[in-house]
Amino acid sequence: MTLPILSLTILTLLVGTVATFLAGSRARWVALATSAVFLGEIALIFLGFSGWPGYNGALVPGFSESESYVWIHLSWMRINYTVGVDGISLVLILLTGILQVATVIYSWGESKRPAAYFGLLLLTCLGSFGVFVALDILLFFLFWEAVLVPMFFLIGFWGGPQRRYAALKFFIYTHVASIVMLVGLLALVFYSGSSSFDFSSVYAGARSLSAVPQTFLFLALFFGFGVKFPMVPFHTWLPDAHVEAPTGGSVLLAGLLLKLGGYGLIRWAVEVLPSGLHTAQPILFFVAFLSIVWGSVLSLSQRDLKRLVAYSSINHMGIVLLAIALDSSLGLIAAVLLMFAHGIVSGLLFMSSGSVHHTFGSRDIASIGGITPTTPALSTLIMTGSLASLGLPALISFPAEFTALLATWNGLSYWVFLPLAILVVTAAFYLWMMQRLLFGTPRGIPAGAHDIPWYEGAGMGILVAFTVLFGILPGLLVNVIVSSPIHGWPGP
Amino acid sequence: MSGLPIVGFVGLSAALLAVGIFGILTRRNFILLLIAIEIAMNAGILNFVYFAAYTGGTAGLTGQAIAVVLVGFAATEVAVGLAIVLALNRLRGSINVAEATELRR
Amino acid sequence: MVSLADLFGYAFLVPLLMVLSFVIVGLAGTRLKRFEWGGWLAVGFAGAALVVGVLIAAAELMDPSRYTNVQFTWFHLPAAPGVFPNGFSLVAGTLVDPISALMLLVVTVVGFLVMLYSIGYMHHDHGLPRYYAELSLFLAAMSGLVIANNLFEFFLFWELVGVCSYFLIGFYYEKPSASSAAKEAFLVTRVGDVMFLLGIFIYFYYYATTGPSGGWAANGFVFVRGTTPFLAGAMGGQSTVLTVAGIMILGGAAGKSAQFPLHVWLPDAMEGPTTVSALIHAATMVAAGVYLLAVTSLFIGFTSTDQLAIVAVGGFTTFFAATMAVVHPDIKRVIAYSTISQLGYMVLAVGAGFAMVGLFHLFTHAFFKALLFLAAGSVIHAVGTQDLFKMGGLRKSMRVTAAAFAIGGLALAGIPPFAGFWSKDDVLSAVYSQLPSHPAYWPFFVLAVAAVFLTAYYIFRAWFLAFSGDKPRDPTLPHAHEGPWVMQVPLVVLSAFAVGAGLFIFWPNFQGLLLHGAGAAGIPPVYGPADLALSATSVFLGVAGIGLAWALWGHGKVFVLADSSPVQPLRRLLLNRYYFKVGFDWIGAKGVYTVARAADFVDRFVIDGTVHGFERMFAELSDRLRRIQTGVVSDYAAYVVAGLIAVFVLLLFVAPYLVAKFGGG
């Protein structure tokens, strides 16, 4: 009997979340302790990870540390509590742990109902963790929806002046998408003739479907997951949500919620419906290119730092979509790597824009500037984040983007020029932002502004450390990703 | 009993139903409204009784049983209805249903 | 016994030392009360790196046929069915061969001297820990680039030097022009980088699918010395995709080496401290583009279409940049244009197939160009202006600087026996030797020869304006005097190199170095003035240029062009840099930004507008639907009855009709 580590982790997070809600003024300590335990458990999961070539004793083929218990048993359908990890989910779980601890430390100074704030942060991470390990459609959907609620309250209660509008917009968009996704998932179960909601059984049934039903199922799922991505033109909830959300919420929104869409697309659509992906490929390419161009070009015209980073997220997730759509193993590796990189780097950037807001009372690039002499540490962090995001080697985004573009060249040959050209625009808006915000003569700086407090620096420092670590040694992640799916990687 | 003229009885209950519905749609007085509802309901009960007799045998007993239960329902309905009438009268001093629209929002 | 050659495995020490310097100076520097020590610490690290660099170069000179590749696996993907059938690994490592040893020597020597010079030059500046840390990081990245043994690693360091350059150009970040120039440099080179990246993709894909070990088993992507370029066989067929790859590599090189049409950033990069200009924007980093072209041509190979494109870009840039230097009043920018022009010569040589000739010119140019910049730095340090027309008569108070600048100028102008003569003449005669078989090279050869005259003219125009005459033309300038010894020593050392570096070509070991550098792939370099008539022509053009400069500007004269002169429009065109910068700014600031604003409008009002339209539609709809909810019981009863009737109608009339028409089960 091995340790049911995944269930244990869910339980820990659940207990930690409840304890945080009840802890009152000591909530941040409880949250920090929960995060520490969570990180420890992630380490255990890594240790127990069977890796390539598959795990013989696994309950669910291809997944390591899997557990499966009957949950609802009907004569014609079994719904199970089934969890398990493979390399893809493992990398994203690591991301969840890193972002959780960094966000908790960064938010150390939160004074508005801290117990509820930290509790909701943990709840978001709990939901994301659940999504990444769930291998049963109902369980997956449960966790998926569980993420929406805390985020809705984080935006709606701790947000900026337009928070009600943003929270509602966020909720309606993602909820409509969820419903389409749910219909798609249920259709997937019934069309595949599966007798349970389990991934492996659905997988086996659906892959043998003919191209037409696969395509329709794929398109439904793609829409459901794509809104989370977000794909243009269903993206306008993202900038609003980010601008209004509190910093911690923004970090998790960009770092985890967008990844849910990518993960869901890979796990429940790409792996399960290969012919569907094949037929829908042109649509995915179009949407991906549109998102890449649109996100980057719009970032150029933004004055609000957070809005700029939000649009750059659209650009980066567009590259993720492109990499997924390529339907090659290199592309999938790149997509997961990119999601990890974007989670870390956008977290760093959202934290630094939050700090800009705390320090200077505004995020308007056009009206404040030359902040480097006042806040050298913050400037360094903004610079690191921007350079990482625009793809500087030795920082995490570079190997990810590099792999993605290499995969694009392999798959689409000269089309790769479009994302490559957009890399220049991406560099342009970051450099221009840095020129206006960090350099030049100081302006718009309130008297008494001083550098960031230690906890904000520490929160960002964690992310910088991982940015550099995985930037220099991307192989650590790639090895985990590659060792995952026995479910037939497409050719190189 | 099989010689009963079916058209006449069904026509009678249809006529009663029409009267009842007419009353429901046009009356504003709560008591008249209740009476109209009773008339429409009795049309239904009459149908049960008639078809029970028409079928005959033990199978017909089901219809008669339902008719008896429905009579009981009608009585309770009237009891509750009259209680509402009293409450409404106490509250507003009027039993005109067209004025009692608070639940609209 | 330990021989010098054992050092080859330790080439990584150079970048490592400089990274240590970056960390220690960067972190500890801010804690120091007086930073003097920090600067000397960085100089010490650079000195240690210099020792390693010189020893490696010496060992390579002793036995030029050696090359040593030390590598480790950067990351390795195990064999996985369907993913990488044979596994796949990417290596990182150092390759010491004649080329990288030569470049390492240049980088460490110039790096050390500039670091030393900075102690005096930057004495009064703020942010010195940052300065020395960034300079150290730059040297680390540059030496890493030089000894990288594969294109991925090369690109990694390539980008790092770009970022260091970005930071150092924007060193005076509170100055808007400096931060703007830094941004411009990064962006323009980024255009090149993106092309370079595509080039790597194409080569990698080609290598992985058709490479020696076949398939994805490709064990990394290494420059292998002593073999023919691995694409040589494929090139015979003039593969389109490889031609594209070559053009992309050229694009990357053009961005870094400021070749036409990506040259705009280099003159503006002069916003950085002069030391930075000397090290990065003259001697080392901008030469990385040429280095890239050279190693690509030697280890991978270009198609003949690529070669023509490279020759065209190099030859044209040579002349094009020289024309702009002719009129410019800013001493640093004149030298910057001359850098672009000289890099053009190197590109020209590499394109014509003579990679080692290009690298030889790179070698000599690094010394005399660093010398010119440091001398100009001395002048700027002394008089506090960069405007040539305010200076004058400085040779009296700054003898060392005046002599150093003159030596650098003579070397640049290609007057024998100064260093520039030998290498530039090599370039010209190398290209000349290809003309019979490649007549398409003719126009670019002519441009390159014509540029010799312009080069001699503009550099001596600068010398005469600054140093000749009796006194400064602007009387408000402070009284000039030489800098401290730390500034003079580098000038003297570099002057020695500027005189003697070209004579290396007569040293058999150095010849061997160039010969082995070319390897099996390159055309062996030409030694010395192969064609006397050509040499005579170029020397004559050089002397004529100096003569013209003396005639127009000598003895403190100022040659003023009449407003009505027919050449005025040309002068304005040159002063405005052929309106290239205006054009780029227009594309960037007006074109792209306008598109971005328009897109923002679409995003807010069309896309989000549609969303809000739906929102309003539903709100309106629900508002209307709500009205039927009157609260009157009889109304509801009426709805019930209407519904009942509708159901009856459906069941009794519509349903039978449908069943009759379509049949039913």
> pLDDT tens across B41-99, in order?
999 999 888 888 888 778 778 888 999 999 999 999 999 999 989 998 888 888 887 77
Contact by Cβ (8 Å): C143, C49:
yes
Contacting C residues, span 303-322, partner chain A, CB-CB under 8 Å:
none
Flag whether B touches A (3+ CB pairs, 8 A cutoff): no
SS3 of residue C94 by DSSP: strand
How many alpha carbons fall within 13 Å on the CB side of residue C78? 10
Q: Across the interface, do A392 and C80 touch by the CB < 8 Å criterion?
A: no
Q: Rounded mean pLDDT of C456-485?
A: 83
Q: What is the mean pLDDT of residues C524-544?
A: 76
CB contact under 8 A, C631 and B21: no
pLDDT over threshold 60, residue A50: no
Residue B40 lies in a domain: yes
Long-range own/partner contacts, residues C145-148 (CB < 8 A, 24 or more apart): C145/C288, C145/C291, C146/C100, C146/C103, C146/C104, C146/C107, C146/C291, C147/C11, C147/C12, C147/C14, C147/C15, C147/C94, C147/C95, C147/C96, C147/C100, C147/C104, C148/C92, C148/C94, C148/C95
The whole-angstrom distance between C657's CA and the closest CA on chain B is 26
The average pLDDT across A423-445 equals 87
pTM for this prediction: 0.86
Task: List subunits contacting chain B, requiring 3 or more Cβ pairs under 8 Å.
Answer: C
> Which of A181 and A193 is assigned the larger pLDDT?
A181
Burial class from Cβ neighbours inside 10 Å (0-12, 13-18, 19+) for residue C350 reads buried
Q: How far apart are CA C230 and CA C210, in angstroms?
A: 10
- Are residues A479 and C83, on separate chains, in Cβ contact within 8 Å? no
A 200-229 residues with CB below 8 A of C?
none
User: Rounded to a whole number, what is the distance in Å from the CA of C407 to chain A's nearest CA?
Assistant: 38
Q: For residue C229, what pLDDT is reported?
A: 53
Residues A95, A344 contacting (CB under 8 angstroms): yes
Chain C: residue nearest B24 by CA? C634
Cα of C634 to nearest chain B Cα, Å: 5
d(CA C56, CA C53): 5
**With contacts defined as CB-CB under 8 Å, which chain C residues touch B97?**
632-634
* Predicted local confidence at residue C236, as pLDDT: 46
In angstroms, the CA A2 to CA A8 distance is 12
Q: How confident is the model at residue A225 (pLDDT cuts 50, 70, 90)?
A: very high
Which domain, by its residues, includes B85?
A: 6-99
Would you say residue A487 has pLDDT above 70? no
Nearest CA in chain B to C627: B104
C459's CB contacts (< 8 A; 6+ apart) are C334, C335, C338, C372, C408, C409, C412, C413
Asked if C221 and C89 count as a contact pair (C-beta separation under 8 A), the reply is no
For residue B104, being part of any structural domain is answered with: no
Least reliable range by pLDDT among A86-100, A215-229, C5-19: C5-19
ipTM: 0.87
Read off the CATH number of the domain in which B89 is found.
Answer: 1.10.287.3510
| Tokens matching residue A289 | 């290119």
pLDDT for C209: 65
For residue C481, the tally of other CB atoms under 10 A from its CB is: 10
Give dist(CA A338, CA A320) in Å, integer: 6
Whether C591 and chain A come into contact, CB under 8 Å, resolves to no
Query: Which residue type occupies C436?
Result: P
**Residue B60 belongs to some domain of the structure:** yes
C70 to chain A, minimum CA–CA distance in Å?
19
- Give one DSSP letter per residue of A292-345, joined into a string: HHHHHHHHHT--BHHHHHHHHHHHHHHHHHHHHHT-SHHHHHHHHHHHHHHHHH
Q: Give the DSSP H/E element, type plus range, for residue C650.
A: none
Q: Rounded to a whole number, what is the distance in Å from the CA of B95 to chain C's nearest CA?
A: 12
Q: Which position has the higher pLDDT, C315 or C437?
A: C315
Helix, strand, coil percent values for chain C (each to nearest 5): 75, 5, 20
Inside any domain, residue B54: yes
Residue A490 — very low, low, confident or very high, per pLDDT cuts 50/70/90?
A: very low
Interchain pair A489, C198: CB under 8 A: no
Contact check, Cβ <8 Å, C179/A474: no
Residue appearing with tokens 């596994």: C87
Which chain A residue shows the shortest CA-CA distance from C84? A492
Most confident region among A48-57, A395-404, C529-538 by mean pLDDT: A395-404
Query: Is B98's CB within 8 Å of C634's CB?
Result: yes
Closest CA to C289 of C268, C266, C270, C305: C266
Spatial CA neighbour of A487 closest among A62, A56, A59: A62
Q: Above 50 in pLDDT, residue A44? A: yes
- Closest in A301, A432, A492 to C183, CB measured: A432
Distance to chain A for C413, nearest Cα, Å: 37
What pLDDT was estimated at residue C222? 56
Quick check: C592 contacting A, CB < 8 Å? yes
Q: How far is B68 from chain C (nearest CA, A)?
A: 25
C512: burial class by Cβ within 10 Å (0-12, 13-18, 19+)?
middle
Residues of C in contact with A53 (CB under 8 A): 80
Chains linked to A by 3 or more Cβ pairs within 8 Å: C
From CA C15, how far away is CA C82, in angstroms rounded? 39
Angle between helical axes of C399-413 and C485-500 (0-180°, round to 10): 30
> In C, which residues are within 8 Å of B41 by CB distance?
none
**pLDDT exceeds 80 at position A214:** yes
Q: Is C172 on the interface with A (CB under 8 A)?
A: no
Summarize pLDDT for C1-38 with one digit per residue, the tens. Answer: 456 667 777 888 888 888 888 888 877 766 666 666 77
Helix (H, G, I), strand (E, B), or coil: what is residue A391? coil
- Mean pLDDT computed over A437-454: 84
Q: What is the dihedral of CA A282, A284, A286, A291, to 10 degrees?
A: -170
User: Residue B66: exposed, middle, or buried by beta-carbon count in 10 A (0-12, 13-18, 19+)?
Assistant: middle
Helix (H, G, I), strand (E, B) or coil at B13: helix
- Which residues of chain B does C630 touch, with a Cβ-Cβ cutoff of 8 Å? 101, 104
Q: Provide the domain count of chain B.
A: 1
Residue with tokens 């280890």: C299
Give B27's contacts in chain C (Cβ within 8 Å).
Answer: 634
Q: Using CA atoms, how far apart are residues C466 and B43, in angstroms rounded to an integer?
A: 119
Quote the percentage of chain C above a pLDDT of 90: 13
C and A in touch (3+ CB pairs within 8 angstroms): yes
The DSSP secondary-structure symbol of C558 reads -
Which two structure tokens, joined as six digits, stand for A222? 């793609």
Q: Do chains B and C touch (3 or more CB pairs under 8 A)?
A: yes
C-chain CB neighbours of A431 within 8 Å are 183, 186-187
> What mean pLDDT, rounded, does chain A reach?
87
Q: How many CB atoms lie within 10 A of CB C126?
A: 12
- The owner of tokens 């002063």 is C575
**Count of CA atoms in the C-beta half-sphere (13 A) of A379:** 19
- State the CB neighbour count (10 A cutoff) for residue A159: 21
pLDDT tens readout for residues A304-360 = 899 999 999 999 999 999 999 988 878 888 899 999 999 999 999 999 999 999 888
List CB contacts (< 8 A) between C216 and chain A. Answer: 492
Q: Which residues contact A15 (CB under 8 A, 6 or more apart)?
A: A34
Q: Which helix (H) or strand (E) holds C615?
A: helix C608-627
Tell me how far CA of residue C346 lies from CA of A444, C282, C421, in angstroms.
48, 13, 14
User: What's the pLDDT at C226?
Assistant: 44
Residue of C630, C637, C638 lying closest to B101 (CB–CB)? C630
Residue C80 has pLDDT above 70, yes or no: no
- Chain C closest-CA separation from residue B59 CA (Å): 27
Tens digit of pLDDT for each residue in C532-541?
Answer: 888 888 888 9
Helix (H, G, I), strand (E, B) or coil at C552: helix
Residue C235 banded pLDDT, cuts 50, 70, 90? very low
